[in-house]
Amino acid sequence: MDHIRRARPEDAARLAEIEVFDYRLYFYPIFRTDAYFFGELTVPALLEDYLIFPDKISRSLVYDDGIIKGFVRAGGNAIEKLFVEPAFRGMGIGGMLLDRAVEETGADRLLVLEKNPSAIRFYERHGFNVTDERVRVDDTEEMFIVMRREA
């Protein structure tokens, strides 16, 4: 059974919860910015952002088998976000979401943190290739790698 569907406005709180938890678990150890990760990045703040910018919801697909376990957001030709609740990782959910987003949107580009080798390997398994392009993460020393997928 296919558990992937388009996100709906009533999913906003769960999307915000997954996003906050994943950012804190996987990005905080790299950036160590307490004020952002534990002050600005909160479920209520992201929920408000989703309500102000409903396209963030409409451009998202969720894996929902009774519980939303992950989501992917794509815009234009790019995968913008892919998050799976850590308790449900290793079950193929991220791959299913990524593959569906690519299929539905034609997305062929994404950014991944250079210091996240497991994510780079994951995207490579799904047809994305590391390029020579790098993009600085805001005003930090950290870099994103641009990955592309051949049609």
Number of independent structural domains in the chain: 1
Which CATH number goes with the domain that contains 72?
3.40.630.30
Q: Which residue segment(s) compose the domain that 63 sits in?
A: 4-108
Examine residue 128 and state whether it is found in any structural domain, yes or no. no
Q: In this predicted structure, what is the pLDDT of residue 1?
A: 65
What are the pLDDT digits (tens) for 56-114? 999 999 999 999 999 999 988 999 999 999 999 999 999 999 999 999 999 999 999 99
pTM: 0.93
Domain for residue 10, yes or no? yes
Report yes or no: 41 and 20 within 8 Å, Cβ to Cβ. yes
Q: Quick one: the chain helix, strand, coil %, rounded to 5? A: 45, 30, 25
Question: Does residue 31 form part of some domain?
Answer: yes
Q: Is residue 113 part of a domain?
A: no
In a domain, 140, yes or no: no
* Angstrom distances, CA of residue 32 to CA of 24, 43, 121, 128, 143: 9, 19, 24, 28, 15
Q: Is 144 a member of any domain?
A: no
